[in-house]
Structure 1
Amino acid sequence: MSNVLLFDIDGTLLNSGDAGQHAMEQALLEVFGVTGPYENILAAGRTDRAITTDLFAHHKIESSETNWSTFQEAYFRHLLQSLGKLDGVVLPGIVGLLDGLAANPNVTLGLLTGNFQIGAQLKLRHYQLDHHFAFGGFGDHHFDRDDVARLAMEAACAHLNQTVPGESIWVIGDTPSDIKCGRAIGARVVAVSTGIYSYEVLEEAGPDFLFTDFSDVAAVTQCLTALSK
């Protein structure tokens, strides 16, 4: 069986210049009239559902269906604006890596991200990476990234119309949570220290392979295209 490669977005494929955080802050201000502080709300490696739930609780906003839908509508609008204003970048090696992997018949590309699905699409479209990904697991409903990994695995099976064993899956991310959720579905893991976590912290979490960045496209490709034994 070919390998299924599930990529995280923020800190792995791109750095949005904190567009997501900025958009959430602007949406909270617009919809609920609240401002910071936000420093105590951890974001890296978490789902947008969990982050927003913490923000609502912190600012004593009722977690109702109406508040959720109104907030999300404002968030996606502000995210599109923030992506255009802030100085984000595609991270080293990513364009060449994805182009090469997409052309390889022995791999299938997907997403495993804590982003809301629409937010993920907006970010990837802005950086012209969206055409590589036809399916994924997203952070719309779950608080635990392990559950998002299970969604991504189910989406891979549906996309390929066959059962995909964990040993044929690679999870690629920049946080200890990416490593943990990969293990939750029996996948192999490639970690990269282009996010907020250091090489040493990621090494302690025990990925199968660890890179400082993906600028050595050939080395990363070799890892991700190695078939399971």
Structure 2
Amino acid sequence: MTETQLVVFDVDGTLIDSQHLIVAAMEEGFRAEGLAPPSRAEILGIVGLSLPRAVEALAPELPEATLERLAEGYRQAFVAARERGGAEAHAPLYPGAREALDRLRADPGVLLGVATGKARRGLDHVLESHDLRDLFVTTQTADEHPSKPHPSMLETALVETGARAERAVMVGDTEFDIAMGRAAGFATIGVAWGYHPRARLEAAGADRVIEDFAALDAALAALLGERA
């Protein structure tokens, strides 16, 4: 009998293109504190970290109380965006994402999961808005685990699915995804269409970097074949 394979995906920058929402919410949080916002590149560079870690990375010189207010301002900006117009509901899936997920889900030997820096509320909104909930058998979020690159999310996904790390792959667009996958013993696939450039993914140790979802199946087959 073929051993179960587990493929875990990041969300922002990997499955959905939510960069304009993330940048706008972070800018709003900084301006509410009377602070000049970081650049767009700086904000996208910390996507994937949990929110407290993200604001600390953007403004390490600020006192803890200010960082807490920045994080809360970001949360409030995102909630307001959802109430105004759906927020992530209007963040498109990347081309080929749904088709790739459907192909993998149709394989009885493959289980799909999510490991995201989003909070549970945010992930639920994404899954419901894009009709993705039934595709994933395990979903891990930042408010239930230490921030990436800590391997807790992936270790829990293994426990929940019964899969082995040797038969598991992490797919993401940031160095934090790659580092998390490596720490958990997963093979790793970086996606070049997200928020960290190919060079950063390769430097983090990605086993493969792909340019589009059409290349995902072959990359998975090659990596899992190497680890059989």
Matching residue's letter, 1:171: M
TM normalised by structure 2 equals 0.77
Report the equivalent of 2:80: 78
Matching residue's letter, 2:20: D
Offset at 1:121? Answer: 2.3
- Judge conservation of contact 2:6–2:169 (CA < 8 Å) in 1: yes
Q: Does 1:48 align with 2:51?
A: yes
- Judge conservation of contact 2:10–2:115 (CA < 8 Å) in 1: yes
Deviations 1:109-132 (A, max 9, x none): 111111222222223433333332
Matching residue's letter, 2:176: S
**Larger RCO, structure (CA 8 Å, separation 6 or more):** 1
Provide structure 2 residue ranges, at least 5 long, that are not aligned to the other structure. Answer: none
Offset at 1:173? Answer: 0.7
Offset at 1:94? Answer: 0.7
Structure 1 residues 218-227 or 99-108, which shifts more? 218-227
Report the equivalent of 1:171: 170
Which protein is richer in helix relative to its size?
A: 2
Offset at 1:9? Answer: 0.9
Aligned residues: 222
- Judge conservation of contact 1:114–1:145 (CA < 8 Å) in 2: yes
- Judge conservation of contact 2:173–2:193 (CA < 8 Å) in 1: yes
- Judge conservation of contact 1:56–1:63 (CA < 8 Å) in 2: no
Match of 2:133 among 127, 130, 135: 130
Offset at 1:178? Answer: 1.5
Distance 2:187 2:204 in 1: 13
- Judge conservation of contact 2:29–2:71 (CA < 8 Å) in 1: no
- Judge conservation of contact 2:175–2:204 (CA < 8 Å) in 1: yes
Distance 2:11 2:193 in 1: 11
User: SS state of the match for residue 182, structure 2?
Assistant: helix
Report the equivalent of 1:183: 182
Distance 1:186 1:221 in 2: 15
Correspondence list, 1:15-54, <5 A: 15-26=17-28, 34-39=34-39, 42-54=45-57
Offset at 1:187? Answer: 0.7
Distance 1:75 1:131 in 2: 28
User: SS state of the match for residue 171, structure 1?
Assistant: strand
Distance 2:138 2:109 in 1: 17
- Judge conservation of contact 2:13–2:19 (CA < 8 Å) in 1: no
Distance 2:210 2:101 in 1: 16
Provide structure 1 residue ranges, at least 5 long, that are not aligned to the other structure. Answer: none
Percent identity over paired residues? 25
User: SS state of the match for residue 140, structure 1?
Assistant: helix
Report the equivalent of 2:15: 13
- Judge conservation of contact 1:175–1:197 (CA < 8 Å) in 2: yes
Distance 2:156 2:88 in 1: 36
Task: Evaluate the alpha carbon distance shift between residue 210 and residue 144 of structure 1 in structure 2; reply closer, same or farther with a 3 A threshold.
Answer: same
- Judge conservation of contact 2:88–2:129 (CA < 8 Å) in 1: no
- Judge conservation of contact 2:148–2:176 (CA < 8 Å) in 1: yes
- Judge conservation of contact 2:7–2:168 (CA < 8 Å) in 1: yes
Report the equivalent of 1:114: 117
Offset at 1:145? Answer: 1.0
Task: Evaluate the alpha carbon distance shift between residue 111 and residue 85 of structure 1 in structure 2; reply closer, same or farther with a 3 A threshold.
Answer: closer
Deviations 1:127-178 (A, max 9, x none): 333332242332226664132x323321441x33x4x332122100112222
